[in-house]
Amino acid sequence: MKSRRIILNQTLNAATIAVRSGRPGAESAWWVLCAMLFLALIALRLSGLEEHFRTLTRNLLRQDGIYEMRRDAQAPLSVLVILGTAGMVALMARLHLKTRRGSPLRFIAHARLAVAGLCGLITLRVISFHSVDGLLYGPAKLNWLIDLGSSLITGWCAYRYGRIARMPRSQR
């Protein structure tokens, strides 16, 4: 939780620096969106809404008598989310390749890769398909690895963006 607050501060700081440094508006908008994402994740964790939504969905499925058939829907949904996340990551990687080394845009590209992975993970956790849960929460702890890794990468990128965006072009 504390790490999310630190990342929230870093992304807000990056947005502020982007505005003050006269960077294009899309760059500050990106960091504001990142800050909103991490603020929402903090709120979800504090409120327990993610677990509440999962419980509510299960109860509705039980009421309708289709809880036992949930895997029929979860499997294709999980595949779609995994393919969609892979597509987003591939698109972000392609954008990353177009950025120049040392450019502030490079750190936005890295952060976009991390956020794409994080959004895919969150969606998979909500779908909660047993086979995927075995991978996420199993011995490898992919849930923690992807969640913490993506969050820390985003925070690091926001920090580095702020440092580089303030520099004159000749020093980058």
* Residues 48-66: tens digit of each pLDDT: 887 787 788 778 878 877 7
- Give residue 113's domain range: 2-171
pLDDT at 154: 94
Is residue 1 within 8 A of residue 45, CB to CB? The reply is yes
d(CA 103, CA 172): 7
Q: pLDDT for 109-128, tens place per residue?
A: 889 989 988 988 888 887 77
Say what the pTM is: 0.77
Specify the number of domains making up the chain: 1
pLDDT at 172: 54
Cα–Cα distance list, 15 to 31, 91, 94, 116, 163 (Å) = 5, 23, 23, 19, 12
